[in-house]
Structure 1
Amino acid sequence: MRILLADDHELVRDTLAAYLQQSGEIKVSAVGSFDEARTAINNSGPFDLVLLDYTMPGMHELDGLSEAIRLNAGKPVGLISGTASPAVAEQALAAGAAGFVPKSMAAKSLIHAVNLMAAGECYAPFSFLNQKPPEPETPALSTQLSRREREVLLCLTQGLANKEIARQLDIQEVTVKLHVKTLCRKLDARNRTHAAMIAKEGGLV
């Protein structure tokens, strides 16, 4: 079986090639860019399987995949990647990729995947495709507070009354009351004392 492996990371490329050639039944040609892969297919193809790194130079996302499929005379072309998302993998499969192989895959699984794709089967790890996207991070509470709100909050932790806070910050007492009300809402605090406690425990001041 003749395989073309295209990956711009030399260590990854050499490691994957070594894994594949251990079986003694796979001959691997390795290149470091899509331009080199195009030349290899034109000069030595078609290959029984072409494996392309999704993010290597010249790929232009899935454009490189489509071109390689056309150049490899109907023989399978798959993607490998260490960073692409399940959504990208699904798009690649829909675009005609023979499979999608995460670089984190164990050596035995990699050889199994290669054999399947070379035999005309479609390969993609079910566990990878069904990964849930990461939950968006909640902004740090401190970033939700304005500079003035943090100043008022500091005064609350010092046990100052509204009139004292107004005098210290040189603002109107009614403004202090509004800030305290806003702080209680943002901190989900029951009252000013609870807000001060949350601030201390959360390291906000």
Structure 2
Amino acid sequence: MKESRSFGIAVLGKYSLMREGISRILQEQKFRVLTSATGVEELRGKVRAQRLLFLIVHTSDDFSLVAAEIGRLRDEYPEAHVAVVAEHYAAAEPGLAFRAGAAGYLVNAISCDAFVKCIELLMLGEAVFPPAFPAPEPMAGKRRRTGRGAGIPRQEQAATAGCASPESPAAPLLSPRETAILRCLIEGDSNKFIARKIDIAEATVKAHIKAILRKIRVQNRTQAAIWGINNAVLLLPANSNSVFSAAEAETGWTLSR
């Protein structure tokens, strides 16, 4: 992904082991990790003005310290993107992070694949929050200002899929055909390519995608792909004839044909 090479990432947090773990995951995916540090003070002199993404690793019960850190980052690096990687989910924290100026709140219960997708979305200027957190209202043509400093560019929709807390309700089970199409979305296939692969009309693909978004409660195909990765749909074959046995083995449900 071109965006991943143009950004520099700094990982902040109290514990070096957690910072190193996140850094290694990102480096293995060819992201450019500039440094890791305990906080903003330690960052000085280590990162320069460029396209930056700061990941704050949150491991305590006191989110006010994280909110303050977000504010300091927004003051010193107003064009940077900032996101929180939380050790556990707390219902009030996504809203506090957003108001402080963060563009995302990720929970370490998600898979590595979903985490990487979320990082890519952050680099594209998307906001990435748990599904239970209401998406911010669109501000077309404007830049969000929350907490201190200027906000990051906003897309019309917040990316909320794939970053759910363990408490998030399970989405309704997709049909075998919808599962096959979702797997194609994970692979980045266009509607036209999906239609050829599964041998259905392109209009039918669009109808299925609309149904998928409604069932798993996301707003676009990128968010659906993240949801699919985080719910093991990546393991299912993108072939409607073989989806039955794979989905049944994965879920333990018997799917009606």
Q: If the length of structure 1 is used for normalisation, what is the TM-score?
A: 0.54
Pair member with larger Rg: 1
Q: Residue 23 in 1 paired to residue 29 in 2?
A: yes
Aligned partner letter, 1:50: F
Q: Spell out, residue by residue over 1:6-41, the C-alpha distance to the aligned partner (whole angstroms, 9 max, x if none).
A: 12212211111010011224334111234213x257
* Number of residues of Structure 1 aligned to a counterpart in Structure 2: 130
Given that residues 99 and 122 in structure 1 are in contact (C-alpha distance below 8 angstroms), is that contact kept between their aligned partners in structure 2?
Answer: yes
Q: Spell out, residue by residue over 1:41-64, the C-alpha distance to the aligned partner (whole angstroms, 9 max, x if none).
A: 7x524442111123579x723111
1:5 to 11, 15, 19: 11
Cα shift at 1:111:
1.1
Moved over 3 A (4+): 54-57, 129-132
Give the superposed CA RMSD. Answer: 2.9
Aligned CA distance change for structure 1 residues 82 and 118 (closer, same or farther; 3 Å): same
1-structure distance, mates of 2:50, 2:121: 18
Gaps in structure 1 of 5+ consecutive residues: 133-205
What SS does the aligned partner of 2:92 have? helix
What SS does the aligned partner of 2:110 have? coil
Q: Residue 104 in 1 paired to residue 139 in 2?
A: no
Q: If the length of structure 2 is used for normalisation, what is the TM-score?
A: 0.44
1-structure distance, mates of 2:9, 2:78: 14
Cα shift at 1:105:
2.3
2:82 to 65, 70, 77: 77
Aligned partner letter, 2:81: P
Sequence identity (%): 16
Cα shift at 1:97:
0.7
Bigger helix fraction: 1
Any residues of structure 2 matched to 1:23-42 within 5 Å, and which? 23-37=29-43, 39-40=44-45
* Residue aligning to 1:92: 97
* Residue aligning to 1:52: 56
Q: Residue 128 in 1 paired to residue 165 in 2?
A: yes
Gaps in structure 2 of 5+ consecutive residues: 1-6, 132-163, 170-257
